[in-house]
Amino acid sequence: MIKTKGAIGVTFICIILGIIIGIQAKTVRVQTSVYDLKRVSELSAELTILENENRELKSNLVDMQNKVAGYEKTITDGNDSLQVIVKNLNDVKIEAGRVALTGRGITVTLNDSKKYGSTGGVDQNAFLIHAEDILSIVNELFSAGAEAISINGQRLVANSSIRCAGSVVNVNGVKIAAPFVVSAIGDPDILEAALVFPGGVVDSLAPWGIELTIKKQETVEIPAYTGTVTFKEAKIVGTEE
């Protein structure tokens, strides 16, 4: 008697338990598909599309800039006053970092320390290059009279930023990773001296084993700034309405 009654009860309860398990399994599956699978796969697909778009637009931009340069040339042929204007324009472009420059200068190559991960007891982050290290090098170079600086091909202009972005460094909004190559146009001797004086930037990085090589060069090429700067809020003083 107990056995039959018990079997019926247990079976009934088992059906309830099974229903709960079934619904729960479905809930968990829906959740994972919503929060994990969708996010990872769809976002990475989106990212790839945007990256391709970005690359296309950049090559378009270079084409357009070349075209503009061509037009400037044809217009100014044989016209003195226009030539003066274009010369002024070029000066402004150089100041704004809109043209590639070449000249004497130095390149500083930085790489993460080989001690990273091998010595215990110390904060391992000290063996990596940080945005602040690059920033202080750039600061020293500019104050020593560097005329143009680029980091891994990213031209530094008035609106440039150098930021830590996790394991990489963000320069002009573009992610770059070690090894970092800082190129600067200016008097090579002065620029080098600005980095290697006692207690200077090179001295402060040396104890951590960060690899830093300075090369004086006869020709350093600095690419043009390819980003855009829009002035939405800023107006020239005296012209605001």
Q: Which residues bind other proteins (CB under 8 A)?
A: 2-3, 5-28, 30-31
Cβ partners under 8 Å of residue 98, min gap 6: 224, 225
Q: Which residues pair with 165 in a beta bridge?
A: 168
* DSSP assignment letter at 206: G
Helix (H) or strand (E) holding 45: helix 43-76
Shortest approach of other proteins to residue 20 CB, angstroms? 6
CB of 46 to other proteins, least distance (A): 24
Q: Which is nearer to other proteins, 3 or 232 (CB)?
A: 3
Determine the Cα–Cα distance for residues 225 and 45; give it in Å rounded to an integer: 28
Q: Beta strands 154-155 and 174-176: pairing type?
A: unpaired
SS3 (DSSP) at 103: strand
Instruction: Kindly tell me which of 13 and 100 has the beta carbon lying closer to other proteins.
Output: 13
- Minimum CB–partner distance for residue 17 and other proteins (Å): 5
Nearer to other proteins, 7 or 122 (CB): 7
**Shortest distance (Å) from residue 39 CB to other proteins:** 15
Q: Which helix (H) or strand (E) holds 105?
A: strand 101-111
Question: How far, in Å, CA of 178 to CA of 176, rounded?
Answer: 7
Query: For residue 151, which of 177, 125, 126 has the smallest C-alpha distance?
Result: 177
| Tally of CB atoms within 10 A around 48 | 10
Instruction: Give me the least distance between CB of 33 and other proteins, in Å please.
Output: 12
Please identify, using beta-carbon distances, which residue of 38 and 114 lies nearer to other proteins. Answer: 38
The phi-psi region of residue 223 (left if phi > 0; otherwise alpha if psi is between -120 and 50; otherwise beta) is beta
**Eight-class DSSP state of 205:** H
22 vs 117, beta carbon nearer other proteins? 22
Distance of closest approach, residue 28 Cβ to other proteins, in angstroms: 6
Residue 25 or 190: which CB sits closer to other proteins? 25
